[in-house]
Chain A
Amino acid sequence: MKKRGIGVGVSFYGTGYGNGFPDISRAIVRLLPGGRVGIYCGVTEVGQGAKTAMIQIGAETLGLTEKDIDLIHEDTSLMPDSGTAAATRQTYNTGNAIKVACENMRKELFEKAKIELELNSTAGLVLENGEVVLSFFPQKRISFKRLSEIYKDEIIEAGGEFVAQTTTMDPETGQGAPYWPYTFNACAVEVEVDTNTGIVDLLRAVFAQDAGRAVNPHLLEGQMDGGFAMALGYALFEDLKLENGAMKNNKFSKYLIPTAMDMIDVEKIIIEDPENTAPYGAKGIGEPVMIPIAPAILNAIYNAIGIRITELPVTPENLMKAIREAEANKQN
């Protein structure tokens, strides 16, 4: 028999290393020949879109387009350390370091413009499309390109650093506030459970994710789809089948992950409630996007057939076993 059910999962997640652990990101910004701007930063692209989002944060701060910026990263001989691409920390921590470095760079550019434009002060200077401009008398302006020519031997650059604020837990009681800031999400799914085959079919999913501010909404939606698909595999498919410590499902013909045919079109909602310590309000969402999915699916299975599943994955055979056990318990 096919039975339908709805389930909801929610989560909150503390980003960063937490628990008072030193969590530092650094960046250097440099004016390059031709007036381009280089951001030197140890941020690692692992498919999450750091390469795009970090450039966007720099571009926003320097009044440039993404095309005017080169991100030089992933080569430790060329750039300062920005910590790991882990703990959902790059957007918040490294995003902050890049923003600080770009703000410092803006001051450097203003100082050089003051000299070249023969001004009394840097007050009233603004950045506009690759030029430093005096806001109330815009004829007074100098391009990044011109500055890079004048200062070709004396490189214009600035650094930036962000140290995350976390506190340690009380080692005796485990109490305290070890993480900050937090990000929140919620997911609801509708499933159809075939009680003869144990196959759980996803019919519908709605997924809301708090991001503080979405630096790049398309990338964010991609992360949400990716987290959902990964969690779908974790909830319903992926089984190592450990027997006496040996992995029995040691190839992808046995260790099943969802295919495009198993994934569904998830309705995604981005919640923007800017975090005031974050770069333009943006918090990381990398790990959180996976967390509420399996609970939502398990709750939906419970809603459909009245059985609480406490072990993953809910493969068809495992679910049929749970159904048989529940029926046996009912009879006793």
Chain B
Amino acid sequence: MDIKKVYNSKSVEEVIDILGEYGEKAKVIAGGTDIVIALNNNAIEPELLIDISKLEELKGIKVDKEFITIGSATTFTEIVESEIIDNNLYGLHKACKMVGSPQIRNKGTIGGNIANGSPAADSVPPLIALGGIVTLKSIEGTREVLLEDYYYNPIKEKELLLNIKFERPKDNQILTFAKLGLRKALAISRLTLSSFIEFDDNNTISFIRVASGALAKFPMREKELEDYLLGKILEKEIIEGAIEALRNSMDERLKGRSTLPYKRIAISTILREILEEALAFEEGVKAW
């Protein structure tokens, strides 16, 4: 480790300028829950660290008519304690609550979870399911990218991840989440699923996005499963069919992987959990 300087930055503009000047020699640090480990392992060797954890511009959850916007330096604890991220956004609350341990949730940020690019990032599947849009800024300008497309065109050296936003859910839309970890805390997710479902007046699924974690190189939409569920009513045999649809996608994607035999069975518990939670919401029985 050969860090020469740490900037305790005062504004987003200043961070953008410094990033523009130093490029690959600089690294942005917020909670440090991933980056400190990478530094200790010499996986990254920046000359300069830019601390954004005190930038008010990047913190907190804002609501306007159309969107809910979460600043990139907002911690998991702040999200878990937010009254906005609750009710039909319960899936995001649940995902953030299952990250690591209280200490990690107090320091780790939603922006870091996205930018670190782990396939097992807990908060990312619910944000993909919500149709989340990431805003990135550099001296060259600002760009917006759908989170589901972000991993094909991730953060660049000179960019700062400003926030993630998604449309405010309607009353008939519900976000759910489930995770399989090998112990009850401090476990890297083996499987995660999140669904964002809209029910029409006949209890039919009129809109759906499902995103998975740890089932590919990065979190992604499960479109085969979405196609299967769209227009259906969540009955027992439909849920069984959904499990088969997702297994088909997994069999293709994870062919030959040693983890596939386990994951294709275990996925049924996780998929059933998110669909049953959605169903409970639709029926007005709040599981939480």
**A residues in contact (CB < 8 Å) with B:** 194, 196-199, 237, 253, 256, 258-262, 315-317, 320-321, 324
Q: Indicate if the CB atoms of B266 and A256 lie closer than 8 Å.
A: no
CA distance A197 to B269 in the complex (A): 7
Task: Report A229 CB to chain B, min CB distance, Å.
Answer: 12
Task: Report A198 CB to chain B, min CB distance, Å.
Answer: 7
* Extra 13 A-B pairs, beta carbons < 8 Å, given A197-B265, A198-B262, A256-B182: A196-B266, A196-B268, A196-B269, A197-B269, A197-B270, A253-B188, A259-B186, A260-B185, A261-B185, A315-B182, A316-B262, A316-B266, A324-B261
CA distance A176 to B118 in the complex (A): 59
CA distance A237 to B270 in the complex (A): 21
Q: Indicate if the CB atoms of A320 and B182 lie closer than 8 Å.
A: no
A254 nearest in chain B by CB position: B188
Contact mask for chain B residues 33-46; partner A; CB cutoff 8 A; 1 contact, 0 none: 00000000000000
Q: Indicate if the CB atoms of A256 and B180 lie closer than 8 Å.
A: no
B267 nearest in chain A by CB position: A196
Question: Is B183 an interface position by the 8 A CB rule?
Answer: yes
Q: Which residues of B contact A321 (CB under 8 A)?
A: 261-262
Q: Indicate if the CB atoms of A261 and B266 lie closer than 8 Å.
A: no
A259 nearest in chain B by CB position: B185
In the complex, 24 of the A-B residue pairs with CB atoms within 8 angstroms, ordered by the A residue number, are: A194-B269, A196-B266, A197-B266, A197-B270, A198-B262, A198-B266, A237-B183, A256-B183, A259-B101, A259-B186, A260-B185, A261-B183, A261-B185, A262-B183, A262-B184, A262-B185, A315-B182, A316-B182, A317-B262, A320-B261, A320-B265, A320-B266, A321-B261, A321-B262
Which of A258, A260, A317 has the most CB atoms of chain B within a 10 A radius of its CB? A317
Q: Indicate if the CB atoms of A261 and B184 lie closer than 8 Å.
A: yes
CA distance A259 to B266 in the complex (A): 22
Q: Which residues of B contact A253 (CB under 8 A)?
A: 188
Question: Is B1 an interface position by the 8 A CB rule?
Answer: no
CA distance A199 to B269 in the complex (A): 11
> How big is chain B's contact interface, by range?
10 to 19
Q: Which residues of B contact A259 (CB under 8 A)?
A: 101, 183-186
CA distance A253 to B269 in the complex (A): 24
A319 nearest in chain B by CB position: B262
CA distance A29 to B260 in the complex (A): 65
CA distance A321 to B259 in the complex (A): 11
CA distance A237 to B266 in the complex (A): 18
CA distance A324 to B261 in the complex (A): 10
Residues of B260-283 contacting chain A, CB below 8 A: 261-262, 265-266, 268-270
CA distance A237 to B185 in the complex (A): 13
Task: Report B2 CB to chain A, min CB distance, Å.
Answer: 24
B101 nearest in chain A by CB position: A259
CA distance A194 to B273 in the complex (A): 13
Give 9 closest A-B pairs by Cβ, nearest first.
A261-B184, A261-B185, A196-B269, A197-B266, A259-B185, A197-B269, A317-B262, A262-B184, A196-B268
Question: Is B187 an interface position by the 8 A CB rule?
Answer: yes
A258 nearest in chain B by CB position: B183
Task: Report B143 CB to chain A, min CB distance, Å.
Answer: 34
Task: Report B185 CB to chain A, min CB distance, Å.
Answer: 4
Which of B180, B182, B268, B269 has the most CB atoms of chain A within a 10 A radius of its CB? B182
A239 nearest in chain B by CB position: B182
Task: Report A162 CB to chain B, min CB distance, Å.
Answer: 43
Q: Which residues of A contact B186 (CB under 8 A)?
A: 259
CA distance A262 to B268 in the complex (A): 23
Q: Which residues of A contact B270 (CB under 8 A)?
A: 197
CA distance A248 to B186 in the complex (A): 19
CA distance A321 to B183 in the complex (A): 18
A194 nearest in chain B by CB position: B269
CA distance A237 to B186 in the complex (A): 13
B187 nearest in chain A by CB position: A256
Q: Which residues of B contact A261 (CB under 8 A)?
A: 183-185
Task: Report A9 CB to chain B, min CB distance, Å.
Answer: 22
Q: Which residues of B contact A258 (CB under 8 A)?
A: 183
Q: Which residues of B contact A194 (CB under 8 A)?
A: 269
Q: Which residues of A contact B262 (CB under 8 A)?
A: 198, 316-317, 320-321
Q: Which residues of A contact B183 (CB under 8 A)?
A: 237, 256, 258-259, 261-262
CA distance A248 to B284 in the complex (A): 47
CA distance A261 to B186 in the complex (A): 10
Task: Report A33 CB to chain B, min CB distance, Å.
Answer: 47
